[in-house]
Amino acid sequence: MKDTEKRIYQMDFTIEERAEGEADQIVGYAAVFNRTTDLGWLTEEVAPGAFTAAIKEDDVRALVDHDPSRILGRTSAGTLDLSQDKIGLRMKIDLPDTSTGRDIRESISRGDVSGASFSFRTINDEWSTKEGKQHRVLKKVRLFDVGPVSFPAYADTSVGVRNLEVAKRSLSEWEEKNKPEEPELSYDAEMDRQRHAEAM
């Protein structure tokens, strides 16, 4: 998907066992607010409220490792619940009774999987310089998927490089949009004519 970025956090999940006949749930955070992440040439953080519109408008999937063949839930189906609190973007996933659901439940219980991620496209961001690096604050994003992941996406991986290319385009667009306007130069033709006449 064009201009899609992914971010991954080291995060503890909770498995909530529910009453008989109800699906157990994975509970955790797909994103954390106001936490600075170093992405190499830039640092980045997510502003509180960045997902407000996405929660209302986007049909978000819960996937394992961003793999659409390993689906765990979906907001439109009521099997994925997303909300924001003072910590970040909280997700509750009703685990399906599938091989994917059973496998990820076991992997999280054993501690084998402890990464959470979200896939997004930037709608609004803000740039500045912080400690000698470009610093980006995600203010509003469109959300595609959330879920547990096995490995972080480091900056030198192909996914990381693509993320940085998208971020650089966003910086260029932000700089162009926020470029200060050059003041208009006034030109007084009459004064110029008089100066010319005095010089003659």
- By the 8 A CB rule, do 102 and 109 touch? no
- Classify 107 in phi/psi space as left (phi over 0), alpha (psi -120 to 50) or beta: alpha
- Mean of the pLDDT values across residues 158-176? 59
More reliable by pLDDT, 8 or 74 = 74
Q: What is the pTM of this model?
A: 0.76
93 forms bridges with which residues in the sheet?
26, 80
- Our CA angle for 2, 35, 90, nearest 5°, is 70
Q: Tell me the domain boundaries of the chain.
A: 5-182
More reliable by pLDDT, 27 or 153 = 27
Q: Is the dihedral of CA 38, 42, 46, 51 positive or negative?
A: negative
